[in-house]
Structure formats: structure tokens, C-alpha cells
Chain A
Amino acid sequence: MSAAMDTESTYSGYSHYSGHSKKTHRQGRDRHKSPRSKDGSRSEKSVTIQTPPAEPLLGNDASRAEEGQDDNWGETTTAITGTSEHSISQEDIARISKDLEDSVGLDCKRYLGLTVAAVLGLLVFLTPIAFILLPQILWRDDLEPCGTVCEGLFISVAFKLLILLIGTWALFFRQPKADLPRVFVFRALLLVLIFLFVFSYWLFYGVRILDSKDTNYQGIVQYAVSLVDALLFIHYLAIVLLELRQLQPMFTVKVVRSTDGESRYYSLGHLSIQRAALVVLENYYRDFTVYNPALLTASKSRATKHMAGLKVYNVDGPGNNASGQSRAMIAAAARRRDSSHNELYYEEADHERRVKKRRARLVVAVEEAFTHIKRLQAEEQQKAPGEMMDPREAAQAIFPSMARALQKYLRTTRQQQYHSMESILQHLSFCITNNMTPKAFLERYLNPGPTLQYDRDRWFSKQWTLVSEEAVTSGLQDGIVFVLKCLDFSLVVNVKKIPFIKLSEEFIDPKSHKFVLRLQSETSV
């Protein structure tokens, strides 16, 4: 067994996938893989913690020995260096630890806020009912009889409470979609207002009615009705403050990604900085193309080449004149006649040509592959039962003919990490099921799409930090700049006020449209 495995030192990525995708534990085969560079392979980069325990992190001998599948792995294994598939880099460790410690702290804050609001809401809802019921319970015999008027008031209280309940459910009972760094000012204000309001009503009730055991039941019921009315108005205030005020666009924000300069503009109303940041992030996932670190390597290598040719030697003695040195380097670099612009131009032209060629091959291959599949109509399905395939099998059948062209294209455009073979097969069977044309199938691969389109592992942007010179609960103003940082890149947001528009009217009478002919004729006489 080990001898057979020994000879499999290189093999194509595809034959490996049928095992890998089902996550069966063929650890013996995995260990015999030769180390691969990160970019070259199309296989999944399994760096998350939740891989099954049989695929261990670096050098975890104990679990391997426990499985006991291949006893001879010690002799037949090739060395696993830091860049093999089952290692994690330093960046990933930092990311994972940050995720762990942050999730614990924020959850407490969020749940505290929610419980306070829920308790207050329940209290507020039960208060009118308590106001009405307490006299009945405590001094029922002393109360003046109160016939139809009170019953009418009971009905109105009941319906108003129902409306309040539905309105509160519609407005407030929503899945919180984000964790903001500071408390939401308007919500806190409203909670305080409601608390003070209900507190003052209870105070009045307690002193004037409970203590003195007022017998005018109709007055008490009307007091409860006034409380419910006031609560409905507070609900109206909540709608206006929380929902309506920011609907009218007042500011235009420009969002620029720091790594590649991709920018977008959005229109916002009166929001606090943290809520504006939230809106920007929600739109970021939909509008910006996915962050691809592989595309940045070219400019980085050019940058290192610029300064690589110069070295500064200090001949005047050991004085450490750092700024003088760097200025000298900059001046020398500026004077040097380098032809890197030429290189860049030809490199880009060459790359474009290559991409276009590969794209043409890909399109042809996919079109040809799609011609092999035909949908069976319902009547035909009974006639040829033997050869029928479901979409997944059909996708697997035509995939090999286009796989190579697709892989080459993805490599050239440096997108290969974003598409695993499994995801491609899934997409292919999805397209086949929905009668899509080859072009519709390819739309996902030809151009990089928004971040939402890809697997969550590939996002590079899950934990965001808001960096701002103003307080994050203060409102947007013209000229404010804040930055949304994540681990690999940042979004710089620049706020501009929409200018005040002065619009005047001009009336044109429809009958005033008159024309003349302007001729210049020449007649010979």
C-alpha cells in the first residue's frame, strides 16, 4: 500500500478533488503531497479551524498516531514545509485570535441593551392595564358604578394597545444586523423619554389615586386612556426620529478603497457617523469588486525595484544622518533614467493580449461543451430511461472538456483562489437547470464580481474598525473624513454636502414658437 502511494508524487489537482471535496480522511495520500506554492494550486486552502481533526495543523503528531491508518508514514513522507496546504500563516493566526476575543465582549453589550429595552417595553405595555385593574382589585366596593362610558373606554384602550403592539413589533422587533461601537443616540433618548414618562404617570397614580383611594372610576379609566394616547404619540416620534429623518438625501459620500483606488458615490441623509459607516459597508459588499491581493503584487514589485538599485554609503564618518540619506536617495532616484514606464506599458499590453486569447478559447470551449447537453421533455422522459441524468451528473459529464480552458483563464486573471472545482460544478449544474446559455454561465468567471458572490472564507474583510476624528455618534457634516479599516485594506470615506439648489421657473407660451425662412437665393437674369 505504501509503495503504491509512494509513486504518487505528482498528480493533477482534479483526481485529488473527488476525495477532498467529500472530506474523507485519506491522510496517507495527503501527506505524500509535494509542497506546492500558494498561487499555483487550484485546491482549497484549508486554513480554517473547523476542519475535521484528522487534517491537523503543523506538526501535531499525537492525533495522527491515533488514527493509525498508515504506520509507515514516517519513512515515506516528504518534508512538509511552511507553505504546504495544511499550514496556516501568521496573518491567519492574528485574524483568528482577534475574532475570538472580539466576539465575547460585544455580545454582552448587545444583549444588555436588548434586555433593558424588552423589560421597559413590557412594563410600558402592562401599565395601562394595571391602572385599570388595580382599583377593581383593591377597593372594588367603593367604586362608583360606571356603565356604558367606561365600557366604551375599555374598548378604545384595548384597540389602542393592539395598535401600539403591532406598531412596536413592526418598528423594533428586527434582527439586529450590525454591532455599532457606540450606543445609538436616538434609541437611547427614546428609551429614557419613555421611562421618565411612565415613571411620572406611575408617580401621579400612586400618590393621587392609590393612596387616596379615589372612587371616580371613570376618571381613572380616562387617565389610563390618556397614557395610551401619549404612548401612541411617542411611537410616532420614534418613527420620525429613527426612520423618516434620514430618508431625505443631504450628503454625498465618496468611498475609495485604499489598495486599488476603486471608488463609488452614495447618497445619505442625516445620519450619525457610525450609521453612515454601516450604510457604506452594506453597500460595499454589493458594489465593490472583491478584494484580490494577487492583483497588487505587480505594483509592489515595481516599488521595490525603484529603490533597490541605490545604496547609501556614509564616507564622512559615523554620523547618523538619516533624513539626509533618504533625501539623497530620493534625489538620486529621480535623476536616474530608468525605463520602468516602458516595462509597465509592454507588460500591460502583453497581459491584455494573453487574457483576451485565453478568454476566446474559454468561450469556445464552453459553447462547445453546452452543445452536448439537451433537456429532455416530459414525454421523452419515459422513452429513454436509461440515459437520463440529473443536473449534477450532466454538469460532471461536460465539465472535463472546459475545465482546462477555465483553469487557464482563471490563472491568468489571478482569480483561481476564488473558485474551487466544487463551486464551479455547482454553478454549472445550476445553469443547466435554469436553461442558461454559455455566456450566462461564464458571466461569473469573466469579470470579478462583488464580494457577496464569493465564499465567506475568501472575503478578507469581516471585521471592520471605524477610525474617525469626530465622535462617531455625531452627525455627518460637510468635509468629514473617516476610515473603515479591516485587516488587509481600508475604505476612505469623504463626506460632501449636496449643494443648495436654487430653481427658478420660466414660462414659455406654446404659441410663441415662430420661425422664418432665411434664404439667400441667386437668380440669373
Chain B
Amino acid sequence: TALSCFISFSFQQRIEIHKLRQGDNLILGFSIGGGIDQDPTQNPFSEDKTDKGIYVTRVTEGGPAEVAGLQIGDKIMQVNGWDMTMVTHDQARKRLTKRNEEVVRLLVTRQSLQKAVQQSMMS
């Protein structure tokens, strides 16, 4: 179990997104879903259907998120140091769209990454 904890910890990825200015807004170029006030069973990306974390549901093409390497289905664990695993949907949105921040540093975890490393470890 200590080994598995170490393994899951290392599957996280840090992504740095530079916001794009569009008119009066700063956009990141992706959509989020989930939150502790939402229905976790309807989340198509989560492995555990009781997981109420924030997931990336869409990434716009050519947007800042795609350029930075964010992929659809990623679970966002932290935003600029703020924890995102136990927040409501609206709180998550607010933390991502702070007007005075131009760069957001996300800590994401990804299932495809986990599976690839698991397979390589087993073989």
C-alpha cells in the first residue's frame, strides 16, 4: 500500500495555463464539471462514481488549456495551491476565473497515465 500511495502520487501532473484575454474576460479554454453539490453518478470520466471532484469535460481547440497540455477527463486536484477536491461547482469556477490572476497552475491527475504506468510496472 505504501508503494501504491507513492505510485498514485506520482501520477499527478502539473499544468501551467496562461490565460487568454478576450475582450473584457480572461479565458482558459476548457469546461469543468463536478463538485460536492453535484450528482457524481452522472460523471462520465470518473472511475469511482462517488467521486465529487472537479473534472475537465471539454477542452477548446487551440485554446490556452490545450496548448498547456490539459486533456479531457483530467481531474483537477489543486488550482494555484487551493484544494479542488472538496469544493462546490461554483467555488471551483470562482477559483479558476479570478480576474487578477493571469497564470493558473493546476495539479491534475489522469487515468490514462495511471493505467500506462500500471501496465509497465506489471510487465
Interface residues of A (CB under 8 A from B): 518-525
Contact = CB atoms under 8 A, between A and B. Distances in A.
A521 B58 contact: no
Count class of interface residues, chain B? 10 to 19
B84 interface: no
Nearest to A518: B39
**Most chain B beta carbons < 10 A, residue from A519, A522, A524:** A524
A524 B30 contact: yes
Interface string B39-77: 100110000000000000110100000000000000000
B28 interface: yes
Given A525-B32, A525-B96, A519 B39 contact: yes
A521 B96 contact: no
A437 to B, nearest CB: 58
A521 B37 CA distance: 10
A125 B8 CA distance: 104
Closest 6 CB pairs of A and B: A518-B39, A520-B42, A524-B31, A525-B96, A522-B33, A525-B28
A522 B97 CA distance: 15
Contact of A523 (B32, B42, B60): B32
Interface in B21-39: 27-28, 30-33, 37-39
A186 to B, nearest CB: 67
Contacts of B38: 518-521
Contacts of A518: 38-39, 42
Contacts of B89: 519, 521, 523
B115 interface: no
Interface of B is mostly: mixed
Contact of A522 (B27, B57, B60): B57
Interface of B: 27-28, 30-33, 37-39, 42-43, 57-58, 60, 89, 93, 96-97
B30 A525 contact: yes
B43 A522 contact: no
A519 B43 CA distance: 11
Nearest to B28: A525
14 contacts: A518-B39, A519-B37, A519-B38, A520-B33, A521-B38, A522-B31, A522-B32, A522-B57, A523-B89, A523-B93, A524-B58, A525-B93, A525-B96, A525-B97
Contact of A521 (B28, B33, B97): B33
B31 A523 contact: yes
Nearest to B43: A520
B33 A525 contact: no
Contacts of B60: 524
B31 A525 contact: yes
Nearest to B39: A518
Contact of A520 (B39, B93, B96): B39
A520 B49 CA distance: 13
Contacts of B58: 522, 524
A519 B34 CA distance: 9
B117 to A, nearest CB: 29
Contacts of A522: 31-33, 57-58
A521 B58 CA distance: 12
**Most chain B beta carbons < 10 A, residue from A518, A519, A522, A525:** A525
Contacts of B96: 525
B27 A525 contact: yes
Contacts of A525: 27-28, 30-32, 93, 96-97
Contacts of A524: 27, 30-32, 58, 60
B88 to A, nearest CB: 11
B49 to A, nearest CB: 12
A133 B38 CA distance: 97
A522 B43 CA distance: 11
A333 B89 CA distance: 77
B34 to A, nearest CB: 8
Contacts of B28: 525
Contacts of B30: 524-525
Contacts of A520: 33, 38-39, 42-43
B40 to A, nearest CB: 9
A70 to B, nearest CB: 99
Given A521-B33, A522-B32, A525-B31, 12 more contacts: A518-B38, A518-B39, A519-B37, A519-B39, A520-B33, A520-B39, A520-B43, A523-B31, A523-B32, A523-B33, A523-B93, A525-B93
A520 B36 CA distance: 11
Contacts of B37: 519
B66 to A, nearest CB: 13
A236 to B, nearest CB: 68
A202 to B, nearest CB: 89
Contacts of A519: 37-39, 89
